[in-house]
Structure 1
Amino acid sequence: MSKKWLSYVGLICIIVMISSLVVGCGGKTATNSTDIKIGANIELTGSVANYGQQALSGLKLAVKEVNAAGGVHGKQVTLVVADNKSEPSEATNATTKLITQDKVVAIVGPAVSSNFLAAIQVAQDNKIPALTPTGTNDKITVENGKVRPYSFRSCFTDPFQGTVMATFAANSLKAKTAAIYIDSSSDYSKGLAEVFEKVFTQNGGKIVAKEAYLQKDSDFRAALTKLKAANAETIFIPGYYEEVGKIAKQAREMGINVPLLGTDGWTDSKLVEIAGVDALNNSYYSNHFSAQDTDPNVAKFVEAYKKEYGKEPNVFAALGYDAGLLMIDAIKRAGSADPQKIRDALEQTKNFQASTGILSLDANHNPVKTAFILERKNGVETFREKINP
């Protein structure tokens, strides 16, 4: 063999080797890898870690079940978890990491509205669909009248919750007057209060007092004194369990015995630990799920969750589970792990069977689904009634 021919052969070998390396690198991209990577931007530490941890437990169960059934398009689903530490800035950083470093094709989370709102622009700039399991703020999916194209949710919205609780106060409790006590540092709390006041007054009721507190406050007696003096028939407290627990405890100690009303931010076992069993009697709040629901799909999920974790799921676990199944269902219907196709499939979701009921996503990327009213009786979360949209 001539030297010239050997040179040609050597050149061809080098080209083949380089091509192999390029293909090898390409094999690790989001759409061509041997698995399908979904990011979880979740509050694992910080002030609302209980919400995030529970949502993640449900999400992990959904992924486990899908993988055990053969995965999606012959591939296993890999969940890449990032802790946003319950902080908006960290939520933004977590989204950036999941997209640029981990190469996820979609993201579930963050759990709370403020963190999701901080992070969604990064997902949108990179054209990666993001789905919050529990963020209820209206601005998550619609801003200034325009739908955010890559933003979705699997829970109902704050306006729906506010409407539900105002209707419950007027129709079920027969209240004619109400007071409102909000967390003025929280868009979640302020938005709910606004809708509650609007609907309650439309139903013929009157708001006789409004007071505010800040997150991390611990002494609420001054404001509660004013609320007690207003002599309202019920008090609406749209907030999170840490402050709500202290408010309920101090309110009852001061002799405020009227019904206390809340929303899904109340949903955590720590609420009882903070407030005490007796303080939460005669309290009611809206929720997305009840383990006491007789729906067979609920029973199936509750049984699977108890088998996996040895305890009954709460609403955040149920919504995390639903978010995982909803995202995976979209990937299946998309026919690939291409983020744009996943986004399109999410937008077309109709009559999806979730653990919290059948849901369809409307034109604003919000689910049309049932709401539950729960009551605390001697510390136990009890199903009160169901309200359809």
Structure 2
Amino acid sequence: MEARRTRRQLLKATTALAAVALLSACGGGSQASTAGAAGPGGIANEIKLMGVYDTTGPVAYAGVGASKGMKLAMDEIQEQGFLGKDVKITLDEADSAGSIERASSEVSRAIAKPEINAIFGPVSGQQAATVAPMVEKAGVPTIFNQAGSDGVVIGDYTFRGTAPMHSYYDIGAEYLADKGLTNVAVLYNGTYPTFAEIGQKVFPKLAEEHGLTISSSYAVQSNTQDFTAQAQEIAKNKPDAVVMLLIAPQSVTALTQLDQAGYKGQTIATSVQSAGNVAQAGEHAAGLVYPVDFSAAQEGELAVNFIEGFKKKYGEDPDPYAAEGYDSMWWMARGIKASGDSSRAGIQKGMQQVASEGFEGVMGHLTFEGNDMRVNGVLVQWDGSKEHLVKK
């Protein structure tokens, strides 16, 4: 594992040096002249964005967090004059409120307004997969956070600023194997596409690769609120670990009922449980481990600066959704600067160029498979009040 960290650090250092060299080659610091030089469309004084995502309902934490991160990035982009001294980015928002129909309607309205340069789309996979063909056909660059299911990144105009959970969940399976926790039960939300994919396909494959045995697997629905039966059976069978793939409100109940049933083994969850989303479970959640794309416990320079800026603006630590929104907004801004064009076509072209090169974000070194983000991820443990990095 030490070798793996060393390779990551070397890659980050190499990328950082390349970025410095590129900046020097472009003439140093004149943001305005650099921004205006690269494309026929030019950069407008006002770049109008529309955000359509859940800010109420069961997954509102993802939409609200992403929105906060985006707004912090917008502040910094304007303060730095990154796109030009007088360039302003504005963001209007609409709550999709857990409704596919509402998300579709709001995205349709945004598409119909030519002054909207780009859209930040729904965080729900089902909503995102529904609107993705709409924005692709209309040629409106749309950046999704979360929305980890298939059918979201489908062409040149659809982008995802969140690494699919399955792409870094291997660090969770690796942790279990390293700890000798080889007998595993899986409890997953079979309605939620991301969790269904991991529970049915991804984790079984990872288990085979890492020498783990899945002794039992339980699928529940998004409206399941009582896990007594599953908890009692798991406690009776005494697996070494439970892989819990549930949305945040469910996980509080499940952790409580597992503990009450007498289960004392390790539970490993997902980024959905991060940043205090399981705090209501109290002592029942202490010791929970989960892979995340970002944690406020991270120590890198960019991460620390982001955490401090977020605390100053909002008076709280950022969650992973805020980091995703922040890096996504900077991805778009870098794309506009790369193409020198803030039109819909210019943003699409520039974001693809940035994706082909990758960049350093608060989540670490960001790479892309097409228009789809990838990160290394980190493993954290919740002690009942805050997160700690797990040293492997």
TM-score of the pair, normalised by structure 2: 0.83
Which entry has the higher C-alpha Rg, 1 or 2?
A: 1
2:181 corresponds to: 175
1:140 corresponds to: 152
In the alignment, structure 1 segments of 5+ residues that lack a partner are 1-29, 142-146
The aligned runs of 1:98-117 (5 Å cut-off) are 98-101=110-113, 103-117=115-129
In the alignment, is the contact (CA less than 8 A) between 2:275 and 2:387 conserved in 1? no
Is 1:84 the counterpart of 2:91 in the alignment?
no
1:13 corresponds to: none
Query: Closer, same or farther in 2 for the Cα pair 1:102/1:263, shift >3 Å?
Result: farther
Question: Which of the residues 259, 273, 279 maps onto 2:284?
Answer: 279
* Matched position secondary structure for 2:163: coil
Query: Closer, same or farther in 2 for the Cα pair 1:265/1:114, shift >3 Å?
Result: farther
Give 1:319 shift: 1.1
Give CA-to-partner distance per residue, 1:362-383, whole Å, 9 cap, x none. 23x2223220111111332221
Number of residue pairs the alignment of both structures matches? 348
AA of the residue aligned to 1:240? I
1:255 corresponds to: 262
2:352 corresponds to: 347
Give 1:301 shift: 0.8
- C-alpha distance in 1 between matches for 2:192 and 2:90: 33
Query: Closer, same or farther in 2 for the Cα pair 1:126/1:56, shift >3 Å?
Result: same
AA of the residue aligned to 1:206? T
- C-alpha distance in 2 between matches for 1:45 and 1:379: 25
Is 1:65 the counterpart of 2:76 in the alignment?
yes
The aligned runs of 1:1-389 (5 Å cut-off) are 34-70=45-81, 72-73=83-84, 74-101=86-113, 103-141=115-153, 147-171=154-178, 173-193=179-199, 194-273=201-280, 275-276=281-282, 278-349=283-354, 350-363=357-370, 365-385=371-391
Give 1:138 shift: 4.3
Give 1:33 shift: 5.9
AA of the residue aligned to 1:49? A
AA of the residue aligned to 2:56? T
Q: CA RMSD in A?
A: 2.0
* Matched position secondary structure for 1:353: strand
Identity of aligned residues (%): 21
Structure with greater contact order relative to length (CA < 8 Å, sep ≥ 6): 2
AA of the residue aligned to 1:214? Q
In the alignment, is the contact (CA less than 8 A) between 1:166 and 1:197 conserved in 2? no
* Matched position secondary structure for 1:323: helix
In the alignment, is the contact (CA less than 8 A) between 2:135 and 2:157 conserved in 1? yes
* Matched position secondary structure for 2:206: helix
AA of the residue aligned to 1:121? P
Give 1:295 shift: 0.8
Give 1:293 shift: 1.8
- C-alpha distance in 2 between matches for 1:219 and 1:120: 34
Query: Closer, same or farther in 2 for the Cα pair 1:180/1:78, shift >3 Å?
Result: same
In the alignment, is the contact (CA less than 8 A) between 2:43 and 2:336 conserved in 1? no
- C-alpha distance in 1 between matches for 2:115 and 2:101: 20
- C-alpha distance in 2 between matches for 1:292 and 1:110: 27
* Matched position secondary structure for 1:105: strand
- C-alpha distance in 2 between matches for 1:230 and 1:160: 30
2:33 corresponds to: none
- C-alpha distance in 1 between matches for 2:277 and 2:164: 24
* Matched position secondary structure for 1:348: helix
AA of the residue aligned to 2:337? K
- C-alpha distance in 2 between matches for 1:197 and 1:290: 26
Query: Closer, same or farther in 2 for the Cα pair 1:159/1:139, shift >3 Å?
Result: farther
Give 1:39 shift: 1.7
Give 1:71 shift: 5.7
1:24 corresponds to: none
In the alignment, is the contact (CA less than 8 A) between 1:138 and 1:159 conserved in 2? no
- C-alpha distance in 1 between matches for 2:63 and 2:194: 16
